[in-house]
Structure 1
Amino acid sequence: MSLRDLPKLELHLHLEGAAPPSLIRGMAKEKSVDISRVFCEDGSYDFRDFVHFLSVYEAATSVLKSPEDYARLMTAVLEESASHGVIYTEFFVSPDFCGGSDVTAWREYLHAMEEAATRAEAQLGIASRGIVTCIRHFGPDKAKPTALCAAETAGGWITGFGMGGDESVGHQGDYAYSFDMAREAGLRLTTHAGEWGGPTSVREALDDLKVERLGHGVQVIQDLALVDRLIEEDIVLEVCPGSNIVLGVYPKWDRHPIQALRERGVKVTVSTDDPPFFHTTMTREYEQLARVFGWRASDFHEISQTALDAAFCDADTKARLADKLKDHPQ
C-alpha cells in the first residue's frame, strides 16, 4: 500500500500557512522586502511557540500584495497537495489579508484565487473550496467586515465561514454576529476550538456559534461528557496531529488523542493545518498514523469518507469524489 497514492481529502488548510518558503522568499526578493528574520538558516520558517508562529505567519503573508500573488500561491499549494494524493481540499482564506476586508478588493482577490483553483482542478484533478475566515485576535469588530465579504461572495467556490487565530483572545460568542451573518448567507460553519482553549472553547463554539465542524477540537478529550455531546450532535473534528505535536499541544505522537477520540465514536478527519511550518504533508501525516496507531488502508478510507460527508461542497462534487475513493482498495 502506497500511502502517498491513497486519495485524500483535507478540510483544514490555511492558504497562506501552506505557502512554500521558497515562494515567499522569492516574492520578498521581487518586492525588495526584507523578511529574512522569519526563516531559519536552512530556509524553513523559524518560530518559537504558537504566539510567535502567528507573528511569523503574518510577516510571511505581508509579501502577498496582489490578486496575482494569491493566484501564484494557490497554484503552488494545489500542486503540492495533489502530489500527495489530495483530491479535495478546503482552504481557510482571509479577506483581512486580501484587500483589508473591503468587499470590492476582496472580489478581485477571490476571482484570481478561484481562477487558479479551476485551472488546478482541470490539470491536476484536485477540487477545492474556500472557507472565509476571520482572525480571532484581530477582534470582533474586525470580524464583521470579513463576514460581510463572505456573505457577499457566498456560493460557488466560497462555501463556508470560520475563525482562526489566538484562542486566548475573548470568547467564541463575541463573534456570534459575524457567524449569524454568514449563516444567513447560506454558508457552512466551523471554528478553531479545543486546540488551546480546552473543553470550554469547544462548548462555547457549540453553544454560541452553533458550528457543525471544529478546527482541531482535540482537547475535548479532557471532558468525556462533552465528547459524548460531539457524538450526539454529529460534530466533525478537523484534526491536525502533526501541527499539534510541533506546537506542543501534545508532546509526541503516541500521546495524541486522535485514536482515543475515534475509538469512542467521534468523527475525525486528518489535515496538515500549515504544512511547511510544521515540516509535514498529508503523506507524512498518514505515515505517522500508520506507524504509531497501526492504521491501515481501511482506516484511511474511513476518515476520507468522513471528510467527504463533512465537506462544504455540493452533491455533484461529492459524487465525483466518491467515485475516486471507490477506485482504491480498502
Structure 2
Amino acid sequence: MNQNVNVPKAELHCHIEGAAPTNLVKRLAGRHGVDVSEVIDSKGKYVWSDFTSFLKAYDVASSVFKVPADYALLAETYFRMMAAEGAIYGEITISPDHAQAAGLSYRSYVEGLAAGIERAKTETAIEGRMIAIGIRHFGSASVERVVKEVVANPHPLVTGFGLAGDERSGHPANFSRAFRIAADAGLGTTAHAGEFGGPDSVIAAMEFLRVKRIGHGVRAIEDRDLVARLVDEEIVLEVCPGSNVALGVYSHLRFHPVNILRKEGVKITLNSDDPPYFGTTLGKEYTSVADTFGWSFEDQMAVTRTAIEAAFCDTATKKRLLVRLDSANRQDGDS
C-alpha cells in the first residue's frame, strides 16, 4: 500500500509563475483582458510541444499577473495545494524580471507573494520562503542588477538567490560576482545546472558560484568522479523527475538517475519545477518515484529530512519543521 499521504513533504525547487493553475490564469486573463486561448486548451491544459513553445506558454500565462493581489492569490493557491498533499514547507523561485515585465516593482511583487504565503500559513500551517533568481541568458549585468535589488530591499521571506534560464548560455564564471554579493548578504545560493547541460555545468556551478545546492544536477550521473565529489562535499540536488521526463531529458521515469544517485549517497530532494505544465504536483513526484523505485515510507521521510536540512530558512524554523517530521514518523510507527 502506498503510504504517500502520510509522508510530510518539502519542496525546494518550484517556479511560482510556473505553478499557476490554468483555471486561475483564465480567471485573471478575463479580469485583465489578456488572450490566453493559444496557450490553454479546451480541457484546461497548457499547450506546448518543446522547450521553446513551453517558454512561450509560460510567458503568456505569467503576463496575467499584473498587481500585488494577483501574486498573493497565486502564492496562496499554490501553498494551499501543497499543504493539501501533506507538504509542511515550500520554497518558491521568484523572478523579478517577470515582475518588471508586468510593470511591478520588486518590492510590490515580493509583498504580494508574501501576503499569499502568510494567508496559506494561517490556514494550513505550511511554511514558505522565496528564492529570487537572475536569468543567465539575460547576461551578467542583468543578474547583478537583480541581486543588488534583492539585497537593497530585504524581506524576511526572501532567503535565497539563484540562477535560472538557459544553462547553455553564459558560463557560471560570469556570475561569480553576483553570487558573492548574495552570499555576503546572508542569502542561501543555488543554481540550475546539469539539466540540459552535462556534468561540466554542475562542476562549473560548484566552482565559480560556490553553491551548496544545485537545481536539477542529475546529469552528474555521467561523471563518476563528480558523483563522488557531490557526496564528499554534501551538495544537495533539487531533483525534478517529472519535469526531466516531460522535457525529454530522460525518456521514462524508470531511466531517471534519481534512484542511482541516492544509492550512491548523493543528497537528493524531490520537486515539481513547473507542476501544471508537466502534469505533476509535489505529491505526484513522491508517489511516482516511490512506486517506480520501490521507496519505503522511511525512504520518503529521509528525502523530506534532506530538504528541510538544506532549506534556506532560519534555525528555529528548521527545528520546528523537524519536530513535525519526527512526530509523523512516530505516528506511523504506532499505526
Q: TM-score range by the shorter chain?
A: over 0.9
> Residue in 2 aligned with 1:159?
159
> Residue in 1 aligned with 2:94?
93
1:183-223 Cα distance to aligned partner (Å, 9 max, x none): 11111100000001010110110111111100000000000
> Residue in 2 aligned with 1:78?
79
- Letter paired with 2:83: A
Query: In the alignment, is the contact (CA less than 8 A) between 1:95 and 1:149 conserved in 2?
Result: no
Q: CA deviation at 1:182?
A: 1.1
Ranges in structure 1 where 5+ consecutive residues have no aligned partner = none
| Aligned counterparts of 1:286 and 1:91: Cα–Cα separation in 2 | 18
| Aligned counterparts of 2:119 and 2:30: Cα–Cα separation in 1 | 27
1:19-48 Cα distance to aligned partner (Å, 9 max, x none): 001111111111111121112331111111
- Letter paired with 2:288: Q
> Residue in 2 aligned with 1:133?
133
CA RMSD across the alignment: 1.6
> Residue in 2 aligned with 1:146?
146
> Residue in 1 aligned with 2:51?
50
| Aligned counterparts of 2:48 and 2:171: Cα–Cα separation in 1 | 26
| Aligned counterparts of 1:61 and 1:290: Cα–Cα separation in 2 | 32
| Aligned counterparts of 1:208 and 1:173: Cα–Cα separation in 2 | 5
| Aligned counterparts of 1:53 and 1:153: Cα–Cα separation in 2 | 31
> Residue in 2 aligned with 1:316?
316
> Residue in 2 aligned with 1:254?
254
Classify the secondary structure of the residue corresponding to 1:215. Answer: strand
Q: CA deviation at 1:303?
A: 0.6
- Letter paired with 1:19: A
Query: In the alignment, is the contact (CA less than 8 A) between 1:191 and 1:214 conserved in 2?
Result: yes
Classify the secondary structure of the residue corresponding to 2:305. Answer: helix
Ranges in structure 2 where 5+ consecutive residues have no aligned partner = none
| Aligned counterparts of 2:58 and 2:5: Cα–Cα separation in 1 | 27
Q: CA deviation at 1:154?
A: 3.6
Taking a change above 3 Å as real, the CA distance of residues 17 and 205 of structure 1, as seen in their structure-2 partners, is: same
Q: CA deviation at 1:295?
A: 0.5
> Residue in 1 aligned with 2:171?
171
Q: CA deviation at 1:153?
A: 3.2
- Letter paired with 1:238: E
- Letter paired with 1:136: R
- Letter paired with 1:70: Y
Query: In the alignment, is the contact (CA less than 8 A) between 1:129 and 1:159 conserved in 2?
Result: yes
Alignment of 1:165-314 (within 5 A): 165-314=165-314
Q: TM-score, normalised by structure 1?
A: 0.96
1:146-173 Cα distance to aligned partner (Å, 9 max, x none): 1112212345111100011111212122
Q: CA deviation at 1:100?
A: 5.2
Q: CA deviation at 1:101?
A: 10
- Letter paired with 1:44: K
Query: In the alignment, is the contact (CA less than 8 A) between 2:290 and 2:300 conserved in 1?
Result: no
